[in-house]
Structures are given as C-alpha cells and as structure tokens.
Structure 1
C-alpha cells in the first residue's frame, strides 16, 4: 500500500491511497465503511451534444467521481474490490455507480471519523509492502500442496500428485519434482522466500533436487518439519515460527499463536471468555488482557451502528490489547465458531 495524501483533523479527513497488491485490496474492504465518501476513476456514458447528426450519441469517459458507500464486495479471484453507492461528486449526481478498485488504482477515502484500527491497518499494509513474498510448499511422498502467504491467510495456488502406475519408479518421482518446481518458479519473483515443509525425508529430497537443477533458488529456501500437508500443514508452519525466520511476526502467525492460547485456556477452564456476554462481563471486572475479535464481526457491528468502538476503547483504556482476526483463514474461522469475539484474561472471574 502506498499513501499519497493524508489530511486529517482529529479523527475526520481524507486519505488517498494506491493499493499495490491483492493484500491491499483485502485491507481496503475492512477500512471502508458504509457512508464513507469514496472517490476514484470510473467510466461513465457522456452524451455528445456537439454531434449534430446523432445528438444522442453516447461516449464513455474516465471521470474522477465520489460516491457515498452503500456496499462493498471483495472479489479475490478477479483481484478487485467493488464499491457501490450514489454519486455525490463528479457527474450524474444521485445516480448509482460501482467503483472497481484494483492494484494500481487511485482511491480517496473520506471519513467523518477514522477508527484507530483502520489507521493501524493502513500502517500495517504500508509496512507489509516492503516484506518479501513467501511461498510455502508442503510435501509428502507423491503429493504436494503449494500456497502463498497473504495478510489474510494462505492462498493455496495449486496441488500436485505423482501420477499413478506400477512402472516408472525414480523417473516418475523426478518428473513429479520437476513439475512441482516448474509451477513454483512461476510464482517466484525477486526477493521471494520458499518454505519447504512436510513429514519424513521427501522435503529433503526435493531440496537436493532444487540444489542440483536450480541452484539460484537455494538461498531462498528454508526447510521445516511438519506432520501433514495442505491447510493443517500451513498452520503448523505458522505455529513453528518459520515465518518469523524470514520477517518479523506477521498478523497470521500472531493470530495462530493467540487462538492456540485461547483454546488451551478454554479446554482447561482457565483464563478465557468468549461470546459478547462473557467478554462484556470480563471487561466490567477489568480482567481482559487480550481481546480477539473477528474482522467481519467488527464490520457487522459497525454496519448496524452499534457502538462497538467505545467498547474497544474502554478495553484499551484498561490496558487490554486488541487483535483483529482475518475471517478468511483457519484461526479466524475458529474464532467465528466461538461467536466472533473472545478474550484471554489476566485473572479468572466467577
């Protein structure tokens, strides 16, 4: 994310941004609220009054316009955020317009009240743009799953299996490695890091294959032991701190660590509360050390005009920390199953 302009007076004002990746588009979904004034370029039909033969002829022009947000939709597979609302500035005032925001788009966000977590999210996105891309290969004999670390989760890119058949032996295994590496290289860019993880020795054999055939990739590789591949394998990689060997603790590693702590406390009837009723009660006693809240839960509360932000500010004023979970990855899904909000406590309350 790149910040082009920031003009704030207290909590009110405009921030102009240029998202640079799919991660940035995802961040914007959780920064933009209903009622915000969002401005960007859009194509509109403009009548050509100078055309005497066809006075009603329409032509499309790219126009900078602002809309009052009514709806946002994140389309991960088309790399865009669609923002819909009535036009406030530009042309055709009062009509509906959808702004399609993609990496490289200019977007201005004006809010009457910027929330603390929204400003922090912009700062996080700016910092993350300077961090290396991370590819995670989870592999066992004859099967591999490959994903890219995003700020909202592990985006699984492809799965590959060793072709079946009684003959072939080592040549088929070599072909499997070759196909796996070829597809992985297509995801690779300058500065990319690769984590190869899995049970047994297959990951070591893959590393040897890469060292022999693609020595330029070797310095980018970290090996990690995990017990399975796919989604559970990705989670193990995060738990084991492999990402922190490459970059400072990212939001996903933090979410994984804290959901594990929470679930352990719940299982032992320890220092945990979950669901809005229990969390509110814990806050009344000043017992909250760390609040875990789902991004979609927070967004829904804000859309319903519930004063969730005063509640969060109260927790922070009492010394509590706030961690916002992505609803798109496993830790967030586990938190959703607990009501979307939970807390790790300083002490147990009755």
Structure 2
C-alpha cells in the first residue's frame, strides 16, 4: 500500500493488494471521514427517458463513516456512511451511500486523532516490492505475482514446440517475447524476477531478458530444483525451501516458517502454540502470543467486528500479525487449522 500524509488529520492511501484492504478495515472507524471516487445512479430528466432507469456516473464524495465490512474474501471493502460533500449537484448531502473500495483504488482518510495502533498498521505495510515468478518449460510457462502473502496468477503461455522439433529448428524467441510482455503487465518498480523450471529453458530465458532494459532495473534470480513449468511449477515453488531462501524476509516466507514451527511443536505435543480463535484469544489474555497468522476463513465464520478488534488488540501488544487469503496452499492450510494459529512465548494449559 502506498501512503502519503496530507496533514495531521488526513492520510492518502493507494490500495495495491488484498492485505491492504484488511489493513484499511482495521483502521477505518465510525466517525472517520473518507474522500474517494464512487459511482451513483442519477435519474435522467431527458425526453423519452424511462422513469425507472438512471445513468450511473462517477463522482467524488466525502463520506462520514458509520460502519465498514469486508466482503467474503479480502478483495473488496464496503464502507457505509452519509455523504457530506459531492462533486455532482445531483447528489444531495445527507444521503446514505455504500462506498466500495477495491485494489488500485485511492482514498483519503481523515480522523480527529490517529491512534498509535492505526499508525503502526500503516507503517507495517513496508514491503514495497513483490516477486514475479516465472515457471518455464520448453512447452509452457506460468507467471505469477507474489506481493505480501497474495499470489496473482496469469494465464499459462504455450510455445507450440513439439518434441524433437524443439531441439532442431524450433525458434523459441517469439515464446520468450510473449513471456516478457506478460511479465511486464505485473512487474513494478523494485520487484524481483524469479525464474525456475526443468531443463535449460530457464537459463535461455534469463539470457534473453538480459538484453531487455528491465534487466538493469530488476534483480533476477535463477532457481534450481523446481522440475515443473506452468501453473504447477508456481505452486511447487511456493511450497519449496527455495522459496524461503529467495524471499528471505518476505511475508510469505515468514509465515511458512511459523507454520513449520507449529507443526513441529504439534508433533512433539508442545503447548507453545494455538489453533483456532478461542484458543488464541485465551493465550492473548496471558500476553503469551509471539506471532499470529490468520486466514480469510476467520472473517467469514466469526463476527467480523470481534475479529478486527481482537487483531488490533493483539498487535497493540507488539505481536506480529500476518494475514493470508486462499490464493496459496499456505493460506488454505491455515484455513484448515481453524483460520487462526499462533506461536507462544510460553505454554498455556488450555492451548495446544
């Protein structure tokens, strides 16, 4: 998420990934004011216009917030409130409106006072780069963009090569050019390019893109040991030890390490972990939580306001909190464990 402080009361936000929407959900409170673009149906006064039809137009509004809620997955945030200002004379002040915030949207949030936990949540969005994953074989290629803990997959590309033809007179450069164009649709400043897959095709593609201008602007990593191309190769990489080595301090690598430690503790019947909301809430009462991971399932199955309040309470104590969606196997694994897990600094009898 890109943020810019406008003044003491107002901060501007640009939403880049689903995790940002969750952060905004944890920040936005009743009584805040939001300025953003939205759409509104305006009744037409033209001759022959149907009285039950209106024209949907884009306007800029200021909204006094009454409540906010995530959709069933972390890809949309609905903010309900009352319009106090509008760029259209057709929209009256005092009208109730539901503002839908999505990825790539921008908005300004004004508060009478920004709380320390809210400022901390904004500063925690410090992973300003992502990873463009390229799983290439001689026949196909999968491309994914990993930002934070969210994986976005592009449609598989196919080279059209056929067995022996590939080894003799098949020209693979047009395939590489299509791959390069697809990569550039998701490649952003400071992103790292990670190339893997069976055989030598990954090295050939690396040699090809070294001639492109992006080679001077982006770090490029070649990973061995991933024997699948296409979408399967992307998922294989996400679950591999190579992922943690390459991603280093990235959020997904940290979450994978937390889950592995929890599985080890579960195997050894340790009580220094929790699974599920109730166990984790109990551990928080003792100040025992070291790190916490949750998935979208916990938002879907529990009272959302209760979960949001709990997450803010935990993070206010200095605990690092990680959110996952179902775009990765790791996210689905956390969902299977009750939607929330945590590592503890010391054992709690009722936990583990």
TM norm. shorter chain > 0.5: yes
Are the counterparts in 1 of residues 61 and 83 from structure 2 also a CA contact under 8 Å? no
Secondary structure of the equivalent of 1:339? Answer: coil
Picking from 6, 14, 18, the partner of 2:13 is 18
Verify: 1:66 aligned to 2:63, yes or no. yes
2:209 match: 210
Secondary structure of the equivalent of 2:325? Answer: coil
**Residues 215 and 276 of structure 1, relative CA distance in 2, 3 Å threshold:** closer
CA distance in 1, matches of 2:19, 2:341: 26
1:124 match: 124
Verify: 1:297 aligned to 2:298, yes or no. yes
Secondary structure of the equivalent of 1:35? Answer: coil
- The Cα shift of 1:223 comes to 1.0
2:88 match: none
Instruction: Report runs of 4+ in structure 1 exceeding 6 Å deviation.
Output: 45-48, 58-61, 74-77
Picking from 156, 163, 170, the partner of 1:159 is 156
Report matched runs for 1:257-268 at 5 Å: 257-268=257-268
**Residues 168 and 335 of structure 1, relative CA distance in 2, 3 Å threshold:** same
Q: How many residues align?
A: 323
CA distance in 1, matches of 2:73, 2:274: 33
**Residues 207 and 166 of structure 1, relative CA distance in 2, 3 Å threshold:** closer
Picking from 5, 14, 34, the partner of 1:39 is 34
1:272 match: 273
Are the counterparts in 1 of residues 161 and 170 from structure 2 also a CA contact under 8 Å? no
1:52 match: none
In structure 2, the gaps of 5 or more residues are: 45-50, 86-90
1:250 match: 250
- The Cα shift of 1:220 comes to 3.2
Are the counterparts in 2 of residues 293 and 324 from structure 1 also a CA contact under 8 Å? yes
Secondary structure of the equivalent of 1:289? Answer: strand
Are the counterparts in 2 of residues 36 and 109 from structure 1 also a CA contact under 8 Å? no
CA distance in 2, matches of 1:110, 1:142: 54
**Residues 305 and 289 of structure 1, relative CA distance in 2, 3 Å threshold:** closer
Secondary structure of the equivalent of 1:262? Answer: helix
**Residues 140 and 109 of structure 1, relative CA distance in 2, 3 Å threshold:** farther
**Residues 295 and 282 of structure 1, relative CA distance in 2, 3 Å threshold:** same
CA distance in 1, matches of 2:324, 2:81: 29
Are the counterparts in 2 of residues 44 and 63 from structure 1 also a CA contact under 8 Å? no
CA distance in 2, matches of 1:197, 1:269: 37
CA distance in 1, matches of 2:348, 2:20: 41
**Residues 226 and 259 of structure 1, relative CA distance in 2, 3 Å threshold:** farther
CA distance in 2, matches of 1:272, 1:66: 42
TM-score, with structure 1 as normaliser = 0.71
1:51 match: none
2:245 match: 241
Q: CA RMSD in A?
A: 4.3
Are the counterparts in 2 of residues 152 and 328 from structure 1 also a CA contact under 8 Å? no
Report matched runs for 1:75-114 at 5 Å: 81=76, 83-87=78-82, 89-90=84-85, 92-101=92-101, 103=104, 105-110=106-111, 114=115
CA distance in 1, matches of 2:236, 2:327: 11
Structure 1 window deviating more from structure 2 (336-345 vs 182-191): it is: 182-191
Secondary structure of the equivalent of 1:64? Answer: strand
- The Cα shift of 1:217 comes to 2.0
2:324 match: 326
Secondary structure of the equivalent of 2:221? Answer: strand
- The Cα shift of 1:295 comes to 6.2
Partner deviation per Cα, 1:95-146 (whole Å, 9 max, x = no partner): 3323354646332254888472x43331133x34xx3453111234423211
Are the counterparts in 2 of residues 33 and 69 from structure 1 also a CA contact under 8 Å? no
Are the counterparts in 2 of residues 238 and 256 from structure 1 also a CA contact under 8 Å? no
**Residues 265 and 141 of structure 1, relative CA distance in 2, 3 Å threshold:** farther
CA distance in 1, matches of 2:58, 2:166: 61
- The Cα shift of 1:19 comes to 0.9
CA distance in 1, matches of 2:345, 2:19: 34
**Residues 296 and 4 of structure 1, relative CA distance in 2, 3 Å threshold:** farther
Partner deviation per Cα, 1:197-246 (whole Å, 9 max, x = no partner): 234443223223434x54762763111224341223134377432133xx
In structure 1, the gaps of 5 or more residues are: 8-13, 49-55
Structure 1 window deviating more from structure 2 (59-68 vs 218-227): it is: 59-68
